[in-house]
């Protein structure tokens, strides 16, 4: 029977259709249809990322033109914002490439230091004879290992009724415990998961706990993205909606379960053969994963317990063995989560005599300075500009993103490379940094980031947001429009880079160190994978460190989760670091604003860029 209160929405080019009540927004319909739409604001109508074109049918689209989230050209072509459009009739909607949320193509690998496996899980085979069982019971009593009554009964049953014997699963971290007993010899089947639970993406390693070998990796977008791209939107959703926390938790658990299914299929294992899960995530992600009330994280100056979490993995719905544990690397502050602790243990900076600086740039920039004996950390609001937010053609590092840029000095035409070797649809963080550096090198922009109006070039022109530089003409793009960078975009990028550089500068000042004292710089995270350090220095994102070796350590958070999974020694180290690391709050620092403002003149102040300033003095 035809339901008059329901309408059908078809999403193209996927051909996915869904029935929803009349009045449902296209954004909610897309969620229901399993169509990934970009969203920074979580469907609040303020980011402009969920653009779609309504090809057939009627929608009620309420939009304030003053907000300029759609250009006049887009409006004339029938673009609407999915989250502000309510379906009134059956519709057919086209999702343009720039609004699609596709599986990340970014590099997710971690660089893993060598480690001697010593996991929390150990399996012991007990043959089916009374003497062996008695001996085992004796040994666990001596070692003060907890053995629940029902597991003891299970062990006795197996010993008495089967001649296959049984395998005992022993846990040894923060207390010893017999987790379960399995029929037969299952010692060769012991797997664990190391997971980087990112705000944007989730990456999982399947690990053989007997050998420490990484069998494979799977990654995907965090399904929580439908509740907003940033952590504040996620917390708001969790707190404002009834059952919100459960829904946000379920989204990340579903993401992990999808990865588990893919890994289990690829490597022909059973999900119940996974006994230990170790995660590294920022503080909000950690709270939401375990279903802990995140409201304290909204309060400025709130103290966050510097502790790890160890719970039964099945209790939050993970598709693993019923007795499996979930261990979340400890957090050290509101903005300093287990991901940073993972970065630190993966870098090894806490064990070295050399003074090192570790930088992980995302929406926030986490910066850690120190060596064996002391570590000082801070977080600066990098702003999401490097992830594409607030940049007209900004996008994440996925297929179709320009990741590298060079400008021909004679023609001022940009040469570029695109992730996935396809036509470009936008520019990701590393591309934006290269672009800004090249524009500065070739004097297309001045030290204040203003486009030089005196240059006569077909690539420089006036636009709706002031002057702009054409990076890719429309004939070469996948979106049928010129990809440009505007003066407004440049101002946003300078704002973000100044904040990161100021965070580094403040830490150096606190420890009375200069750029010459640093001998190692560790760059972490997917963003760092594509980052050209020369471009980053050229625009003043990171200072010049004349004596330092700059090392990219990949997904340090994943590496940290792996190390903690395969060796309890690393769990102990992580907990020690989380408790002992000093956190410096930039918002309470008198110098931060001065340092931040100094970054508005490219590349930044003389003390941080001595070589550049010296060269510029010579060329004057
Ligand atoms: Fe629609 Fe942000 S404007 S999701």
pLDDT per residue as tens digits for the range 538-592? 999 999 999 999 888 888 999 999 999 999 999 999 999 999 999 988 888 888 9
pTM: 0.82
Distance, CA 208 to ligand 1 centroid (Å)? Answer: 42
Predicted confidence band of residue 97 (pLDDT cuts 50, 70, 90): confident
b/e 472-488 (16+ beta carbons within 10 angstroms → b): beeeebbbebbbbbbbb
Task: Tell me the chain's radius of gyration from C-alpha atoms.
Answer: 27
The confidence score (pLDDT) of residue 41 equals 73
Distance, CA 403 to ligand 1 centroid (Å)? Answer: 25
Q: Find, among 393, 460, 426, 430, the residue nearest to 525 by Cα.
A: 430
Q: Find, among 558, 540, 581, 620, the residue nearest to 198 by Cα.
A: 558
Asked whether the predicted pLDDT for residue 45 surpasses 90, the reply is no
- Give, in order, the Cα–Cα distances in Å from 599 to each of 181, 296, 348, 589: 61, 32, 30, 17
Predicted confidence band of residue 108 (pLDDT cuts 50, 70, 90): low
Q: Which residue has the higher pLDDT, 564 or 162?
A: 564
**Looking at residues 112-137, what average pLDDT do you find?**
90
How open is the CA angle 429-434-439, to the nearest 5 degrees?
125
**Looking at residues 326-345, what average pLDDT do you find?**
94
3-state secondary structure of 38: coil
Rounded to 5 degrees, φ, ψ at 110 are -110, 155
Pick from 43, 68, 70 the residue to mutate for probing ligand 1's pocket: most ligand atoms within 8 Å of its CB. Answer: 43
Q: What is the pLDDT of residues 212-261, one digit of tens each?
A: 999 999 998 898 988 887 788 899 989 988 899 999 999 999 999 999 99
Cβ(43) – ligand 1 distance below 6 Å: yes
Distance, CA 394 to ligand 1 centroid (Å)? Answer: 15
Q: Which residue has the higher pLDDT, 129 or 138?
A: 138
**Looking at residues 499-522, what average pLDDT do you find?**
95
Distance, CA 41 to ligand 1 centroid (Å)? Answer: 6
Cβ(228) – ligand 1 distance below 6 Å: no
Cβ(400) – ligand 1 distance below 6 Å: no
Cβ(119) – ligand 1 distance below 6 Å: no
Distance, CA 47 to ligand 1 centroid (Å)? Answer: 5
Pick from 25, 30, 39 the residue to mutate for probing ligand 1's pocket: most ligand atoms within 8 Å of its CB. Answer: 39
Predicted confidence band of residue 361 (pLDDT cuts 50, 70, 90): confident
Q: What is the pLDDT of residues 70-88, one digit of tens each?
A: 888 888 888 999 999 999 9
Cβ(83) – ligand 1 distance below 6 Å: yes
Asked whether the predicted pLDDT for residue 39 surpasses 80, the reply is no
Predicted confidence band of residue 2 (pLDDT cuts 50, 70, 90): low
Asked whether the predicted pLDDT for residue 399 surpasses 90, the reply is no
Distance, CA 537 to ligand 1 centroid (Å)? Answer: 33
The confidence score (pLDDT) of residue 103 equals 55
The answer to whether 26 touches 56, Cβ cutoff 8 Å, is: no
Asked whether the predicted pLDDT for residue 515 surpasses 60, the reply is yes
The confidence score (pLDDT) of residue 106 equals 45
* DSSP state string for 509-551: HHTT--GGG--EEEEEHHHHHH--HHHHHHTTSS---TTPEEE
Predicted confidence band of residue 109 (pLDDT cuts 50, 70, 90): low
Rounded to 5 degrees, φ, ψ at 361 are -105, 120
């Amino acid at each position: 029977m035809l339901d008059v209160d329901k309408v059908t929405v078809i999403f193209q080019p996927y051909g996915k259709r869904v029935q929803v009540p009349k009045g449902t927004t296209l954004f909610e319909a897309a969620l229901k249809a399993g169509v990934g739409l970009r969203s920074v604001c979580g469907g609040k109508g303020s980011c402009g990322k969920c653009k779609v074109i309504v090809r057939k049918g009627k929608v009620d689209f309420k939009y304030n033109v003053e907000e300029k989230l759609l250009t006049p050209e887009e409006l004339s072509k029938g673009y609407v914002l999915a989250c502000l459009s309510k379906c009134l009739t059956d519709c057919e909607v086209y999702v343009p490439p720039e609004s699609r949320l596709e599986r990340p193509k970014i590099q997710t690998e971690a660089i893993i230091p060598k480690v001697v496996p010593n996991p929390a899980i150990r399996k012991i085979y007990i043959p089916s004879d009374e003497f062996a069982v008695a001996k085992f019971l004796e040994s666990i009593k001596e070692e003060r290992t907890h053995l629940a009554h029902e597991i003891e009964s299970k062990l006795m049953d197996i010993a008495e009724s089967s001649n296959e014997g049984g395998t005992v699963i022993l846990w040894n971290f923060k207390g010893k415990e017999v987790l379960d007993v399995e029929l037969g010899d299952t010692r060769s089947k012991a797997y664990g998961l190391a997971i980087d639970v990112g705000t944007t993406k989730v990456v999982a390693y399947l690990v053989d706990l007997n050998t420490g070998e990484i069998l494979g990796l799977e990654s995907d977008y965090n399904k929580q993205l439908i509740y907003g791209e940033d952590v504040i939107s996620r917390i708001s959703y969790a707190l404002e909606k009834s059952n919100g926390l459960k829904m946000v938790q379920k989204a990340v658990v579903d993401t992990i379960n999808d990865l588990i299914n893919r890994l289990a299929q690829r490597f022909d294992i059973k999900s119940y053969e996974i006994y230990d899960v170790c995660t590294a995530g920022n503080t909000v992600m950690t709270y939401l994963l375990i279903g802990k009330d995140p409201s304290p994280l909204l309060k400025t100056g709130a103290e966050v317990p510097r502790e790890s979490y160890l719970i039964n993995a099945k209790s939050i719905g993970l598709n693993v063995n019923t007795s499996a544990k979930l261990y979340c690397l400890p957090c050290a502050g509101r903005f300093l989560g287990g991901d940073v602790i993972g970065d630190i243990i993966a870098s090894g900076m806490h064990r070295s005599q050399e003074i090192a600086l570790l930088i992980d740039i995302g929406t926030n920039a986490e910066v850690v300075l120190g060596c064996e004996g002391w570590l000082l950390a801070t977080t600066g609001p990098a702003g999401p500009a490097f992830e594409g937010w607030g940049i007209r053609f900004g996008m994440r590092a996925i297929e179709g993103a320009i990741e590298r840029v060079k400008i021909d000095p004679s023609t001022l035409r940009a040469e570029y490379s695109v992730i996935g070797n396809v036509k470009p649809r936008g520019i990701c963080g590393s591309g934006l940094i290269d672009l800004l550096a090249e524009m500065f090198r070739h004097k297309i922009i001045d030290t204040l980031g203003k486009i030089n109006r005196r240059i006569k070039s077909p690539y420089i022109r006036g636009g709706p947001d002031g002057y702009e530089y054409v990076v890719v003409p429309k004939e070469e793009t996948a979106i049928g429009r010129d990809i440009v960078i505007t003066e407004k975009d440049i101002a946003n990028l300078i704002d973000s880079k100044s904040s990161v550089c100021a965070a580094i500068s403040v830490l150096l000042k606190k420890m009375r160190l200069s750029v010459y004292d640093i001998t190692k710089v560790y760059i972490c995270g997917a963003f760092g994978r594509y980052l050209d350090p020369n471009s980053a220095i050229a625009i003043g994102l990171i200072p010049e460190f004349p004596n330092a070796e700059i090392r990219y350590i990949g997904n340090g958070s994943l590496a940290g989760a792996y190390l903690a999974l395969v060796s309890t020694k690393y769990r102990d180290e992580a907990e020690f670091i989380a408790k002992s690391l000093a956190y410096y709050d930039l918002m309470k620092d008198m110098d931060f604003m001065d340092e931040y403002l100094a970054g508005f003149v490219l590349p930044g102040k003389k003390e941080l860029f001595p070589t550049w300033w010296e060269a510029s003095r010579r060329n004057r």
